[in-house]
Amino acid sequence: MKPVELKPGICWTGAIDWAIRDFHGYYIPKGTSYNNYLVLDDEPVLIDGVKLDFASTCIQNIEAVVPPSKIRHLIVNHIEPDHGGALSRLIELMPGVPVYCTQKGRDGLARFHDTSKWNFRVVKTGDTLNTGKKTFLFIETPMLHWPDSMMTFLREDRILFSQDGFGQHIASTQRFDDEFVACASMAELEDSVWDYYANILMPFGPVIKGKLEELGRLGVEPEMIAPAHGVIWRKEPGKVLRTYQDMAAGKTDERVVIVYDTMWGGTGRMAQPIMQGLKDEGMDCRVIKLRETPTSVAIKEFWRARGCIVGSPTLNGHIFPYVGQFLIYLRGLKPKNRIVGAFGSYGWGGVAVKEIMETFGELKLECFAETLTTNYAPALSDQAAAYEFGRKFAQAAREYHKKFS
């Protein structure tokens, strides 16, 4: 895709990755983009790189705007290889160019590239770069989501180059939020924002809250937010800022998701009356069988719901592996502000439900007092108990949800 102008003299020069579905294990059904930006001024500036596989595409886009040798400054907001991978190739075309990044960025880049000849300029929050008529303000954002991360605010044009923050894994010919919404919908765009946050940023809610406040203190009021993935927010930058504030504050839908797997159908047959009990209490509910669903999709559904009930059979004295994979992923994401419960089946020596609740206890989530187990296969009385379990869980989830309204 050719360069796209954000404003006169400010261009997207990145690449669209239509084919990718596995992003370091995170399933991204819509593909993604690697966004970088070129700002023309007395001294032209390139902001960020792209994934190495797309170096040639990016170079072609830059050359369509300005010869790379004319670029006078390179800002590296984030070093992860989906952005930093092509930096060596880019810097070859602009030898000696000053490279602006955080100290952690410099340290990390030295692990991915031979940086012995790179001309680093380490920056901190509040440092600026003047390129003639434009001023770039640097804002460190450590652990959003790597230690090196930072954002750059172009003051005169009020554009926040936000690296991974506010991004979405979407490959599309639309480069702006309003264009995407016209072709798809705001609900689809928002769902991609929730998906991205759930799988990449969930552990960093408190950091996000603090950084959003800091942006306000620094006078960063963007009229456009240009992330490193997905569409650029030019019509509704305030909407994605509010969505991030809401997620960091624990807001979500009043919904319960049942996440389970099953061996001979016993646990699966309990999921159905639990779902019915939830529904009959008026609770929105979704059901996910883990073996049929990418873990990252289950995580997004977890994050979009106030409550989650996890079901597992016991296999070889432990939790069922597909359920274990979900819980291991969840443990790393350190979720907060969710009410959780567990159910399952066993043949002898059932422990899966206990292990699920222990994981939830370690995560300090709101644990529903009751659990539900059945031996081998649920009898009618077990199914009736599962229905009641669903009803009571819905009541508890609704009560808990009130804390966030």
Active site residue 145: yes
The residue (of 83 and 255) whose beta carbon lies closer to ligand FEO is 83
Give the contact letters, 105-144, x = binds to ligand FEO (CB under 6 A), - = no.
----------------------------------------
Question: How far is it, in rounded angstroms, from Cα 402 to Cα 405?
Answer: 5
Task: Pick the piece of the chain touching ligand FEO (CB under 6 A) from 59-67, 78-86, 242-250, 335-343.
Answer: 78-86
Query: Coil, strand or helix: which one is 223?
Result: coil
Least CB distance to ligand FEO at residue 200 (A) = 7
Size of the site for ligand FEO (CB under 6 A): 9
- 104 binds ligand FEO, rule: CB under 6 A: no
The residue (of 80 and 254) whose beta carbon lies closer to ligand FEO is 80
Active site residue 24: yes
Distances (CA, A) of 390 to 29, 282, 307, 344, 368: 31, 11, 11, 14, 11
User: Out of 13, 57, 59, 78, which residue is the one contacting ligand FEO (CB under 6 A)?
Assistant: 78
Torsion angle in degrees (nearest 10) through CA of 132, 137, 143, 144: -80
Least CB distance to ligand FEO at residue 378 (A) = 44
The residue (of 145 and 306) whose beta carbon lies closer to ligand FEO is 145
Active site residue 53: no
Give the contact letters, 137-176, x = binds to ligand FEO (CB under 6 A), - = no.
--------xx-----------------x------------
| DSSP one-letter string for 135-204 | EEEEEE-TTSSSTT-EEEEETTTTEEE-TTTT------S--BHHHHHHHS-HHHHHHHHHHHIIIIIGGG
What is the chain's alpha carbon radius of gyration, rounded to the nearest angstrom? 24
- 208 binds ligand FEO, rule: CB under 6 A: no
Task: Pick the piece of the chain touching ligand FEO (CB under 6 A) from 79-87, 130-138, 191-199, 286-294.
Answer: 79-87
User: Out of 48, 80, 177, 355, which residue is the one contacting ligand FEO (CB under 6 A)?
Assistant: 80
Task: Kindly give, in sequence order, each residue whose CB lies less than 8 Å from that of residue 217, ignoring residues fewer than 6 positions away.
Answer: none
Give the contact letters, 221-250, x = binds to ligand FEO (CB under 6 A), - = no.
-------xx---------------------
Active site residue 73: no
- 382 binds ligand FEO, rule: CB under 6 A: no
Least CB distance to ligand FEO at residue 34 (A) = 8
**Contact call for residues 76 and 99 (beta carbons, < 8 A):** yes
Active site residue 78: yes
**Cα end-to-end distance, the chain, whole Å:** 43
Q: Which of 329, 229, 287, 165 is nearest to 15 (CA)?
A: 229
- 195 binds ligand FEO, rule: CB under 6 A: no
Surface-to-core class of residue 8, CB atoms within 10 Å of its CB (0-12 exposed, 13-18 middle, 19+ buried): exposed
Going along 63-149, which residue ranges are E strands? 73-75, 98-101, 119-122, 128-130, 135-140
Which amino acids are annotated catalytic? 24, 78, 80, 82, 145, 164, 196, 229
Task: Point out which residues bind ligand FEO (CB under 6 A).
Answer: 78, 80, 82-83, 145-146, 164, 228-229
